[in-house]
Amino acid sequence: MHIPKLFTRSWRVLPTAVIAAMLAACADRPMPTSAVPEIPAPRLDVASAATELFFSEYIEGSSNNKALEIYNGTGSAIDLAAGQYKVLMYNNGAVTPNVTINLTGTVPAGGVFVIAHGSANAGILAKANQTNSAGWFNGNDAVSLVKGNTTLDVIGQIGNNPGTEWGTGLTSTADNTLRRKSSICTGDANSSDAFNPATEWDGFATDNIDGLGAHTATCGTVTLAPAVSSTTPTAGAGNVAAASDIAVTFTMPVTVSGTWYTISCTNSGAHAATVTGGTTNSSFTLNPTTDFAAGEACTVTIVAAQVVDAANPTVAMTANHVLNFSTLGGNTCSSGFTPTYAIQGSGASAAITGTVTTQGVVVGDFEGAQPALRGFYIQDQTGDGNAATSDGLFVFNNTNNSVSLGDVVRVTGTAGEFQEQTQISNVTDITVCSSGATITPTDVTFPVASSTFLERYEGMLVRLPQSLYVTEHFQLGRFGQVVMSVNARQMQPTNVVAPGAAAAALQAQNNLGRIIIDDATNDQNPDPIVFGRGGNPLSASNTLRGGDVATGIVGIMTYTWSGNEASGNAYRVRPIGAMGGGVPNFVATNARPMAPTSVGGTLRVSSFNVLNYFNSFSGCTYGVGGGSTDCRGADSQTEFNRQVPKTISALMGLNADVLGIVEIENDGYGANSAIAHLVAQLNAQAGANTYAFINADAATSQTNSLGTDAIKVALIYKPARVTPVGNTSVLNTVAFVNGGDGAPRNRPALAQAFQQADGARFIAVVNHFKSKGSACNAPDAGDGQANCNAVRVAAATQLRNWLTTDPTGTGDPDVLILGDLNAYAKEDPIMVLRNAGFIDLLESRIGPNAYSYAFDGQWGYLDHAMASSSIAAQITGVTSWHINADEPNILDYNTDYKSAAQIASLTDGSAFRSSDHDPVLIGLTLTSPVVNDPSLTVTPPASWTAGVSASLGVKFSSTKGAPYTVRINWGDSTPNTQFVSTVAPTAPLLRPHTYATAGSHTVTVSVTDRSGASTTQTLTITVQ
């Protein structure tokens, strides 16, 4: 028996699960009754390897002890997110999934992936690779494993509810554990066929988790090919004696033939050898017929095609095995060395570790004390010609300055990984062999093939030949870095595609199309900040805007952080200090808009998140009389004096007649309040009494009508242009503010109708929904909408409902929903409003690439303008004025972490980077005046059911006054409902009606006012 040899694989990593599977599989197989030493026993060699993932364990235990195990028998690791694998659960015979879980992570070859309910017991959770806390399946619910849109495996029968369970006894889907039979190699992809678990599953008692975390299958492993398991000398060895033999051991007995090895050295050339071990053996010794020369580099290659499995001669080695070593003696630069590419290898980590001597050309010199990188990058002078392996690496040289660009240096030290970058540390010798060498940079183009693709360039001199676009400069001030992307700056996925799979796919695509460009050091808050336009440092007047372009950047592909955990270890191209590099020429492709794009019209409406306008620097409270809280804005009068001119510049530039403000200090409306301060500052520029603000507390007779957060929304307007009419109204119900959570989340909304001199009106509603920044009760669903989506959906729903109740009492249908909804264009809250008939003006007037905000280097708009259908036709133009999102945040008013020189140079009184959000500006030509006098609002009940009384709401008013004669023709030949009201009702008057039969009816409601003027509304209703 040669069983142990079966499991001696040449692969560097052999999952224990695979070993277990193979052992178990072998145990199931009939073994030879007698072993013949010369002929090795048959090896595990199964023809029908699994080609896809399938369920291998199903736990439907007590309480939430629920889990699914997914087995990978394909022989290759599988990235679940990249493959868009997901688990779907269909409750009670449903045909559409009630629960969808997008899987993330990797299933190793031969391994399993466990997804468990988040409230499962500790034993299950200990085995879980992913958890989810939705309402999971019971025994009568179908579960499927899907890849993209392809069903791979189904437990149960979709669309069929068996009542309690499928199967019987222990082998049933309720209150049992099911384990896939080891003979099963593929999932049950037919979702509609009858399901009997006994066919493919073994049953176990409730809560049995003995098998969770590993799976045994007689398929799914791949044929084992022979490979080299060890050599003497070892790979990368130095100081090998010139007379040494070379020993080679394989993972199994092999048969060698022909030219199955070559030996070649830098000085002594090719070597023949005498072979010990015959032609079939596990180990062979090569004794070179001539000894090696002193101090040279040698390469031994075992030729794959000439080495086959002794027991199965059709199976050859899968790849050549290459062994590099260097021999003892000689002078430093002429002796052998281990090439940099051999040290790097093709994997994520160094292929050779320990003491090595290597050599290369200095392509990046980052020597010196911190914050310098304290070392240099060398790249092999010729390279190995293998695109999959890097030819460069980092030499850590502490504070020494030993080399210059172009030097050919010989380095001896310890090879290994430091913060996941391959480097030589503990350097004992650096010898400059020659100078003036050049390396041609390797072109790297985006998008790359995978998240690990850039590893093949780690430490190398690279060129980025494409035009790359500045997509993030959030850390430009702190770390001196920008993120650049190919084709264009990157859109926030949920701004352009639906949340969920589509957003995940775009996110994955974005991730492969971007690269960090970093300065030469790991300095934090560097001065100067070297990345500005035109190769000049950043300043208030020399910005670096999102969308600016640099082409042909040459630098070192480092894998480093930038001096702090906040920067993260990542692939960073560092052009400064690289051979042929230098500060990139960022071209001002995205010009600063000195004024908003013209929006036309005769009325300008805007909304602006002003980024915490606080005129208090201490003693701030949660609303008037509330508990203490941080002052979120300027830290001091000094900072405030820098903030005010920027904010006022922006507001003056907007020149809005009606302006919704988001993020202003919530401290009432007194003379010292933030809103009074802002309007006073604005009037100081625009002229006395040009602007006024809406005092929502006074108008609603409430204190803190706009909530008790530290911030609130506000409305300011030009009294000479518009007059507030109707009721100032706030939406501050618990249902809206809490959004279903246990604490306040959304800031109350403010609605106000405004009237022009000609009588034309519209209604502005300013909002600030809960942000994505901190968690709410429901966890982030992972669909791209980030935290608190449910709270924002609830807010949008409440807002929609509120607006149907005519909160301003004007009955005007022209509504603009403004403000920071903290939801991108394709997210659920926006869809709630769109489905209610509101038109997303940024999408319809600007297009899908509209943006007002950048996060994580991805662009979209949180600052919305959504129009009711009646006002949409009165809109002449819409723009986001890109004064802020495009500008580096380091240019804002803050003085933190800035040198005295930077405090002066990085901030000016311009509108640019006055906030983190871009303001929205809308041009309107309101159709004058509202013709509906009397006004009439008819509110149907949620539904009509035949034979059941339901009530129609009728609300009316007129400038002419009472009496109001109301007639309702129900459209079903029953008598009209008629009445006369001597007052305009403050709430809809409900008039009940019972329809005898189902069907469609036309209801006609008319109201006639004192003057005899009438308004009629007709609606078609469907009786169920």
Partner 1 sequence: MSFSTNLPTLTMFTSRKPNFFARSVALAATAAALLGSAIAPAAAGAQSTSLTIGSASEAFPMGPFGTLPGGATVAMGQTFTRPYDAICALTCYMQDFSFWLSPSTDHASAGLRLKAYVAEWDGTKATNVLYSSEERVGPTVASQQFTFGTSSLSLNAGTQYIAFLSIVGLNGLPGTAAADMDAIFGDPDPYANGALVYTNNGAIIGDLTSTDWEWAGDTMIDARFDATFTSTAVPEPSSLVLLATGASVLLFMARRERA
SS3 187: coil
Kindly write out the interface string for residues 816-845 of this chain, putting x where it contacts partner 1 by CB under 8 A and - elsewhere: ------------------------------
Phi-psi region of 233 (alpha: psi -120 to 50; beta: other; left: phi over 0): beta
Which CB, 103 or 968, lies closer to partner 1? 968
d(CA 136, CA 68): 11
The strand pair at 354-366 and 375-379 is best described as antiparallel
**How far apart are CB 1003 and partner 1 at their closest, in Å?**
16
Identify the bridge partners of residue 573 per DSSP, sorted by sequence position: 517, 557
**How far apart are CB 949 and partner 1 at their closest, in Å?**
13
Residue 626, both tokens: 């509330």
Which CB, 181 or 967, lies closer to partner 1? 967
Contact range with partner 1 by CB under 8 A, out of 21-29, 245-253, 694-702, 959-967: 959-967
Which CB, 24 or 950, lies closer to partner 1? 950
Kindly write out the interface string for residues 438-477 of this chain, putting x where it contacts partner 1 by CB under 8 A and - elsewhere: ----------------------------------------
Kindly write out the interface string for residues 966-995 of this chain, putting x where it contacts partner 1 by CB under 8 A and - elsewhere: -x----------xxxxxx-xx--xxx----
Residue 798 identity: Q
User: Measured in whole angstroms, how far is the alpha carbon of residue 283 from the centre of its chain?
Assistant: 51
Contact range with partner 1 by CB under 8 A, out of 453-461, 541-549, 938-946, 963-971: 963-971
**How far apart are CB 993 and partner 1 at their closest, in Å?**
13
**How far apart are CB 1011 and partner 1 at their closest, in Å?**
10
How many residues bind partner 1, per CB under 8 A?
Answer: 19
d(CA 523, CA 374): 12
Which CB, 895 or 1006, lies closer to partner 1? 1006
**How far apart are CB 793 and partner 1 at their closest, in Å?**
34
Radius of gyration of the chain (CA): 36
SS3 23: helix
**How far apart are CB 814 and partner 1 at their closest, in Å?**
26
Contact range with partner 1 by CB under 8 A, out of 448-456, 532-540, 823-831, 957-965: 957-965
Residue 543 and residue 477 in contact, taking contact as beta carbons nearer than 8 Å: no
Contact range with partner 1 by CB under 8 A, out of 148-156, 702-710, 807-815, 958-966: 958-966
Residue length of the chain: 1024
Which CB, 692 or 962, lies closer to partner 1? 962
**How far apart are CB 915 and partner 1 at their closest, in Å?**
42
Which CB, 161 or 1017, lies closer to partner 1? 1017
Which CB, 562 or 1006, lies closer to partner 1? 1006
d(CA 884, CA 864): 16
Task: Dump strand ranges (E) for 28-170.
Answer: 54-60, 66-71, 78-79, 85-90, 99-102, 106-107, 112-117, 130-132, 142-147, 150-155, 167-168
Residue 431 identity: T
Q: Is 965 in the site for partner 1 (CB under 8 A)?
A: yes
Selected from 963, 996, 1020, 1024, the binder of partner 1 by CB under 8 A is 963
Q: Among 477, 475, 454, which residue's Cα sits nearest to residue 556?
A: 454
d(CA 410, CA 367): 16
Sign, CA torsion 707/708/709/713? positive
Which CB, 13 or 983, lies closer to partner 1? 983
Contact range with partner 1 by CB under 8 A, out of 172-180, 751-759, 835-843, 961-969: 961-969
Cα angle 869, 874, 876 (rounded to 5 degrees) comes to: 120
**How far apart are CB 688 and partner 1 at their closest, in Å?**
38
**How far apart are CB 115 and partner 1 at their closest, in Å?**
57
Provide the b/e sequence for 582-617 (b: ≥16 CB within 10 Å): ebbebebebeebeebeebebebbbbbbbbbbbbbbe
Which CB, 368 or 809, lies closer to partner 1? 809
**How far apart are CB 818 and partner 1 at their closest, in Å?**
30
Which CB, 568 or 963, lies closer to partner 1? 963
**How far apart are CB 985 and partner 1 at their closest, in Å?**
7
Residue 32: HSE in the Cβ half-sphere, 13 Å Cα cutoff = 12
Residue with tokens 């030290």: 413
**How far apart are CB 957 and partner 1 at their closest, in Å?**
12
Task: State the alpha helices, DSSP H only, in 322-368.
Answer: 340-344
Which CB, 390 or 957, lies closer to partner 1? 957
**How far apart are CB 141 and partner 1 at their closest, in Å?**
49
Which CB, 133 or 1011, lies closer to partner 1? 1011
Residue 944, both tokens: 């009509």
Residue 536: HSE in the Cβ half-sphere, 13 Å Cα cutoff = 9
Contact positions with partner 1 (CB under 8 A) in 96-155: none
- Return the H-helix or E-strand segment holding 646: helix 637-654
**How far apart are CB 979 and partner 1 at their closest, in Å?**
5
Residue with tokens 């850390």: 475
Which CB, 189 or 962, lies closer to partner 1? 962
Contact positions with partner 1 (CB under 8 A) in 303-332: none
Q: Among 282, 207, 215, 275, which residue's Cα sits nearest to residue 252?
A: 282
**How far apart are CB 1010 and partner 1 at their closest, in Å?**
7
Which CB, 127 or 993, lies closer to partner 1? 993
**How far apart are CB 969 and partner 1 at their closest, in Å?**
11
d(CA 361, CA 369): 22
Selected from 624, 1010, 1017, 1019, the binder of partner 1 by CB under 8 A is 1010
Selected from 962, 994, 1017, 1019, the binder of partner 1 by CB under 8 A is 962
Which CB, 371 or 953, lies closer to partner 1? 953
Which CB, 800 or 1010, lies closer to partner 1? 1010
- How many angstroms separate the Cα of 464 from the Cα of each of 98, 392, 554? 46, 17, 6
Q: Is 283 in the site for partner 1 (CB under 8 A)?
A: no
User: Measured in whole angstroms, how far is the alpha carbon of residue 848 from the centre of its chain?
Assistant: 19
- How many angstroms separate the Cα of 592 from the Cα of each of 368, 472, 649, 654, 694? 38, 17, 14, 15, 32
Residue with tokens 């983190």: 916
Q: Among 939, 929, 987, 979, which residue's Cα sits nearest to residue 959?
A: 929
d(CA 587, CA 564): 29
Contact range with partner 1 by CB under 8 A, out of 44-52, 290-298, 365-373, 960-968: 960-968
**How far apart are CB 961 and partner 1 at their closest, in Å?**
8
Identify the bridge partners of residue 130 per DSSP, sorted by sequence position: 115
Task: State the alpha helices, DSSP H only, in 787-884.
Answer: 789-803, 828-835, 841, 869-872
d(CA 88, CA 863): 34
Which CB, 592 or 967, lies closer to partner 1? 967
**How far apart are CB 1004 and partner 1 at their closest, in Å?**
11
Which CB, 714 or 966, lies closer to partner 1? 966
Q: Is 939 in the site for partner 1 (CB under 8 A)?
A: no
Binding site for partner 1 (CB under 8 A): 961-963, 965, 967, 978-983, 985-986, 989-991, 1006, 1010, 1014
